[in-house]
């Protein structure tokens, strides 16, 4: 992608309703834009690109874990929620509306009913089980206090998954499998997180776990052990006191987390209320044992920034970064710098499949180009400046702002082999730093 063709309205102004770093930088880096109504955002091109990368990691790991992606209708007939009894229960967060024929509908805040409805129309026998179906779609919750940008929106992107089983034991096996899959997803996104025991209503036991991104700005209070991997939401560890000991003997600590995911052993709650059954091995109708598994995909963008930023801007992780490399042509009117930029850009992109941005803007000086690189938080910048004449360029790591110089033979830079070799050296270096994502 070329910066000269990009829509990236970066800004120095802190939006007045923003207090969290993630909210401030998502807006200042030109990634999202408030629509006006609270908790509603437009994703601008680079914000969308980041969202897609995060979405891809979630999808890739779920697909490998045997889950099947679907896409349910965003609008759900109210009759389904009347069947389950949730139309009464859910309260004001549920956005209800009527169509022209006065039929009642809702904008889905979650989709247990809709997915059970899909399965009850499609699955007949235990032979078709187990099944784990998911989608990554918009959800709408008319939150009482939407705040902190993407952290608590009213419209947000969520992965919601539902598994269907012939036995409680098989559902528990899948629950553990999903816990492992979620750990892989959050690790791959470069997050520092903890799995904590969560409130699971009537079910109890290992019924529910939350995935908490550790951050001082988190809205959840959690109790963690630094010796073993025990953790619990204070909602379940209600009698916890500072200084209490963990089962392993170490002292427990109170800290803050951002809820990024939630997995839940549902049992037969929805399959029974919606009368969703299959024929078991004995030929008898039986209600499905179910699990449900959520990830706040758009909230993850905020969580990643909360853990990865400094006073210059965002510092995206390997697989969430909008680009791996930003080639900054310091003076795009300089023929030599410009030519080298073009050659390297095409080489990285086409030969090495590096997701690269070429800052080829002729109307911006080097200073603002660097500032944009720092604010947006691309992991590396390759600066083609005055040194190009002498055969030297600089690679800057965003996180540490450390520079590494790469040299080439100026005499030969018009030869394909020379910039091929130069790009190759830089790619080897990036490879050695483990910053090239597996796929983009």
Residues in the site for ligand ATP, rule: CB under 6 A?
Answer: 110, 141, 143, 152-153, 156, 158, 259-262, 294, 296, 298-299
Choose the contact partner of 369 out of ligand ATP, Mg ion, none; CB within 5 to 8 A by kind.
none
Choose the contact partner of 324 out of ligand ATP, Mg ion, none; CB within 5 to 8 A by kind.
none
Identity of the residue, 90 or 126, whose beta carbon is nearer to ligand ATP in the bound complex: 90
In angstroms, give the least distance from the CB of 262 to Mg ion.
4
Identity of the residue, 165 or 262, whose beta carbon is nearer to Mg ion in the bound complex: 262
Closest to 263 measured CA to CA, from 138, 165, 368, 172: 172
Choose the contact partner of 152 out of Mg ion, ligand ATP, none; CB within 5 to 8 A by kind.
ligand ATP
- What count of Cα atoms within 13 Å lies in the side-chain half-sphere of residue 121? 5
Tokens 């360029």 correspond to what residue?
Answer: 393
**Cα distances (Å, whole numbers) of residue 315 to 177, 246, 300, 310, 386:** 31, 34, 14, 8, 27
Cα–Cα distance measured from residue 156 to residue 119, given in angstroms and rounded to the nearest whole number:
25
Which of 154, 262, 318, 369 forms a contact with Mg ion (CB under 5 A)? 262
Identity of the residue, 299 or 318, whose beta carbon is nearer to ligand ATP in the bound complex: 299
Choose the contact partner of 141 out of Mg ion, ligand ATP, none; CB within 5 to 8 A by kind.
ligand ATP
Cβ–Cβ under 8 Å, residues 26 and 18: no
In angstroms, give the least distance from the CB of 4 to ligand ATP.
34
Identity of the residue, 55 or 262, whose beta carbon is nearer to Mg ion in the bound complex: 262
In angstroms, give the least distance from the CB of 194 to ligand ATP.
14
Q: Where are the alpha helices (DSSP H) in 137-243?
A: 168-188
Identity of the residue, 262 or 352, whose beta carbon is nearer to ligand ATP in the bound complex: 262
DSSP 220-278: EEEEEESSSS-EEETTT-TT--TTPBPTTSSBEEEEEEEEEEEEEEEETHHHHHTT-EE
Choose the contact partner of 315 out of ligand ATP, Mg ion, none; CB within 5 to 8 A by kind.
none
Binding site for Mg ion (CB under 5 A): 262
């Amino acid at each position: 992608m070329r910066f000269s063709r990009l829509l990236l309205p970066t800004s120095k102004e802190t939006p007045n309703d923003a207090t969290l770093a993630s909210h401030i930088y998502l807006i200042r880096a030109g990634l999202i834009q408030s629509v006006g109504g609270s908790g509603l955002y437009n994703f601008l091109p680079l914000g969308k690109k980041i969202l897609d990368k995060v979405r891809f990691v979630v999808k890739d790991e779920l697909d490998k874990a045997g889950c099947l992606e679907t896409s349910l209708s965003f609008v759900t007939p109210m009759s389904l929620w009347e069947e389950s009894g949730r139309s009464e229960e859910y309260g004001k967060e549920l956005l209800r509306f009527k169509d022209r024929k006065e039929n009642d509908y809702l904008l889905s805040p979650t989709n247990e009913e809709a997915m059970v409805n899909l399965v009850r129309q499609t699955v007949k026998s235990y032979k078709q089980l187990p099944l784990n179906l998911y989608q990554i779609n918009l959800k709408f919750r008319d939150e009482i206090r939407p705040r902190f940008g993407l952290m608590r929106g009213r419209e947000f992107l969520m992965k919601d998954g539902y598994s269907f089983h012939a036995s409680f034991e098989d559902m528990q096996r899948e629950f553990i499998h999903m816990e492992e899959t979620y750990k892989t997803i959050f690790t791959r996104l470069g997050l520092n997180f903890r799995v904590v025991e969560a409130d699971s209503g009537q079910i109890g036991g290992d019924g529910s776990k939350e995935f908490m991104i550790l951050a001082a700005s988190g809205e959840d209070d959690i109790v963690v052990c630094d010796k073993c991997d025990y953790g619990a939401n204070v909602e379940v560890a209600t009698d916890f006191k500072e200084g209490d000991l963990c089962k392993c003997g170490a002292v427990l600590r109170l800290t803050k987390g951002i809820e990024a995911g939630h997995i839940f052993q549902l049992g037969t709650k929805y399959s029974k209320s919606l009368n969703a059954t299959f024929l078991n091995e004995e030929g008898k109708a039986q209600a499905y044992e179910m699990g449900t598994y959520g990830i706040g995909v758009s909230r993850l963008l905020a969580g990643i920034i909360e853990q990865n930023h400094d006073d210059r801007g965002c510092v995206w992780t390997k697989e969430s970064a909008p680009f791996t490399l930003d080639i900054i042509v310091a003076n795009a009117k300089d023929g030599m710098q410009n030519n080298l930029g073009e050659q390297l850009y095409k080489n990285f992109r086409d030969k090495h499949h590096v997701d690269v941005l070429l800052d080829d803007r002729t109307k911006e000086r080097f200073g603002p180009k660097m500032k944009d690189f720092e604010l947006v938080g691309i992991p590396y910048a390759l600066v083609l400046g005055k040194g190009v004449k002498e055969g030297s360029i600089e690679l800057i790591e965003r996180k540490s702002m450390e520079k590494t110089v790469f040299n080439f033979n100026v005499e030969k830079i018009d030869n394909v082999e020379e910039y091929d070799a130069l790009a190759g050296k830089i790619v080897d270096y990036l490879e050695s730093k483990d910053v090239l994502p597996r796929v983009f």
